[in-house]
Copies of this chain bind each other. A is one copy, B any other.
Amino acid sequence: MTEARAVSRFPVPDLADMPDDIRSRILAVQEKSGFIPNVFLVLAHRPDEFRAFFAYHDALMDKPGNLTKAEREMIVVATSNLNQCQYCVVAHGAILRIRAKDPLIADQVAVNYRKADITDRQKAMLDFAVRVSTEAQKVSESDFATLKAHGFTEEDIWDIAAISAFFGLSNRLANVTSMRPNAEFYSMGRG
């Protein structure tokens, strides 16, 4: 019954009606994951926005860099829960569990990262990510200094900020579209 609920409060196109590049990307994800994460279907309603969104996503989440894949997901999960974004917490919580190979970490980071089984360096990273998400206007050189004292580089700091900012966009879209998390995500990586 649950699964019959709408994926989006906006129209979702049929795969057959999507532009080729979008359908291809979606089919590739489906092949890899075994299902189509709903964010792909929801954003396919707007092909140009779909392309830009995932290009941005990939530029931040898939590129090389000092932040581990798990750390990037921690940023998503911690900021998305403050923004009360169901899709992002559930979907990226699953990815975080898998990336970190830790079944407990996502729920810990989502609810209160200060109490999570992560390093002090990671807590400093999340302090900054949350600051960017909630009061970026107050970011100052002292924030940079704190992060550098934990070993982060200038480029790492850009990455943390950009991931926090990008998922702030994603969180708002998900809340306005009532983007529904796929049932698969809830139990993924729970061991």
> Which residues on A are within 8 Å of B, measured CB to CB?
2, 5, 10, 45-46, 48-49, 51-53, 55-56, 58-60, 63, 80-81, 83-86, 89-90, 93, 102-104, 107-108, 110-112, 114-117, 132-133, 136-140, 154, 157-158, 161-162, 164-166, 168-169, 171-173, 175-178, 180-181, 183, 186-187, 190-191
Task: State whether A154 touches B83 (Cβ < 8 A).
Answer: no
Cβ–Cβ < 8 Å partners of A191 in chain B: 187
Find A52's partner among B55, B90, B177 (CB 8 Å cutoff). Answer: B55
Find A186's partner among B58, B104, B133 (CB 8 Å cutoff). Answer: B104
List 13 A-B pairs, Cβ < 8 Å. A10-B158, A48-B59, A52-B52, A52-B59, A81-B111, A83-B137, A104-B186, A107-B186, A132-B172, A139-B175, A161-B173, A165-B172, A168-B172
Cβ–Cβ < 8 Å partners of A186 in chain B: 103-104, 107, 190
Task: State whether A81 touches B81 (Cβ < 8 A).
Answer: yes
Residue of B nearest to A187 (CB): B190
Whole-angstrom distance between the alpha carbons of A92 and B115 in the complex? 17
Cβ–Cβ < 8 Å partners of A46 in chain B: 59, 158, 162
Cβ–Cβ < 8 Å partners of A80 in chain B: 111
- In the complex, how many angstroms separate the beta carbon of A82 from the nearest chain B beta carbon? 9
Task: State whether A111 touches B136 (Cβ < 8 A).
Answer: no
Find A172's partner among B154, B161, B173 (CB 8 Å cutoff). Answer: B161
Whole-angstrom distance between the alpha carbons of A105 and B80 in the complex? 18
- In the complex, how many angstroms separate the beta carbon of A184 from the nearest chain B beta carbon? 10
Residue of B nearest to A116 (CB): B86
Cβ–Cβ < 8 Å partners of A59 in chain B: 46, 48-49, 51-52
Task: State whether B139 touches A176 (Cβ < 8 A).
Answer: yes
Cβ–Cβ < 8 Å partners of A115 in chain B: 86, 175, 178, 180
Task: State whether B137 touches A158 (Cβ < 8 A).
Answer: no
